[in-house]
Amino acid sequence: MTSIFDSIRFPSGEDGKPIYKMLIDGEWRESSSLKTITVHDPFDGSVVGRVQKATKEDAEAAIDAAFKAKKSMADMSAYERSKILDRIADLIEDNRDEFIDVIVAEAGKPRSLAEGEVTGTVERFRFAAEETKAIVGEVVKGDNAPWHQNKIAMVMRQPLGVVMAICPFNYPLLIGTAKIAPALAAGNAVVAKPASDDPIVLFMLAKAIEEAGMPKGVFNIVSGSGSEIGDLLFSNDKIDMVSFTGSSSVGQHGAKVAGMKKIQMELGGKCPAIVLDDADIDTVVKECMAGSFKFSGQRCDALSRILIHEKIADKFVSRIKKEVAKLKMGDPRDASTSQGPLINKWAVETVVELVEDARKKGAKVLCGGKRGEGLFYEPTVLDKVTSDMRIAWEETFGPVMTIIRVKDYEEAIELANRSQYGLDSSIFTNDVDKAVDAGKRLESGTVQINGAPAHGFGNIPFGGDKESGIGREGVRTNIENMTKRHSIVFNPRYKG
Ligand code: NAP
Ligand code: MG
**Model pLDDT, residue 145:** 85
Q: Is the pLDDT of residue 472 over 90?
A: yes
pLDDT in tens, 231-258: 999 999 999 999 999 999 999 999 999 9
Q: Is the pLDDT of residue 344 over 90?
A: yes
Residue 142 or 417, more confident: 417
Mean per-residue pLDDT, 127-149: 93
Q: Which atom of ligand 1 is nearest to the CA of 268?
A: 34
pLDDT in tens, 433-444: 999 999 999 999
Mean per-residue pLDDT, 115-135: 98
- Tell me the pLDDT of the chain averaged across its residues: 97
Q: Answer whether 54's CB lies under 8 Å from 222's CB.
A: yes
Q: Which of 171, 231, 245 to mutate to test the pocket of ligand 1 (most atoms within 8 A of CB)?
A: 245
Ligand closest to 199 (CA) is 1
Q: How far, in Å, from the CA of 225 to the mean position of ligand 2?
A: 11
Nearest CA to ligand 1 atom 31: 247
Tell me how far apart the alpha carbons of residues 211 and 86 are, in angstroms, rounded to a whole number: 12
CA count, 13 A, side-chain hemisphere, 248: 18
Tell me how far apart the alpha carbons of residues 341 and 359 are, in angstroms, rounded to a whole number: 22
Q: Which atom of ligand 1 is nearest to the CA of 167?
A: 9
Q: Which atom of ligand 1 is nearest to the CA of 265?
A: 41
pLDDT in tens, 381-407: 999 999 999 999 999 999 999 999 999
Ligand closest to 398 (CA) is 1
Q: Is the pLDDT of residue 12 over 90?
A: no
**Model pLDDT, residue 496:** 75
Residues with catalytic annotation? Answer: 266, 300
CA distances (Å), origin 296, targets 23, 288, 329, 394, 445: 32, 13, 10, 16, 23
Distance linking the first and last C-alpha atoms of the chain: 74
Query: Which of the four pLDDT bands, split at 50, 70 and 90, describes residue 147?
Result: confident
Tell me how far apart the alpha carbons of residues 332 and 130 are, in angstroms, rounded to a whole number: 34
pLDDT in tens, 268-320: 999 999 999 999 999 999 999 999 999 999 999 999 999 999 999 999 999 99
Q: Which of 339, 334, 385, 392 lies closest to 359, judged by CA?
A: 385
What is the pairing mode between strands 424-428 and 446-449? Answer: parallel
**Model pLDDT, residue 189:** 99
Q: Answer whether 378's CB lies under 8 Å from 341's CB.
A: no
**Model pLDDT, residue 4:** 96
Q: Is the pLDDT of residue 149 over 90?
A: no
By percentage, how much of the chain surpasses pLDDT 70? 100
Q: Is the pLDDT of residue 148 over 80?
A: no
Q: Which atom of ligand 1 is nearest to the CA of 246?
A: 30
Q: Is the pLDDT of residue 102 over 90?
A: yes
- Which residues line the pocket of ligand 1, CB cutoff 6 A? 166-170, 175, 193, 195-197, 225-227, 230-231, 233-234, 245-247, 250, 253-254, 266-269, 300, 395, 397, 423, 464, 468-469
Tell me how far apart the alpha carbons of residues 391 and 401 are, in angstroms, rounded to a whole number: 10
**Model pLDDT, residue 495:** 77
Tell me how far apart the alpha carbons of residues 6 and 318 are, in angstroms, rounded to a whole number: 52
Residue 65, Cβ neighbours under 10 Å: how many? 23
DSSP H helix total and E strand total for the chain: 14, 24
Nearest CA to ligand 1 atom 43: 300
Query: Which of the four pLDDT bands, split at 50, 70 and 90, describes residue 113?
Result: very high
What's the burial of 144, exposed, middle or buried (CB within 10 Å: 0-12/13-18/19+)?
Answer: exposed
pLDDT in tens, 34-86: 999 999 999 999 999 999 999 999 999 999 999 999 999 999 999 999 999 99
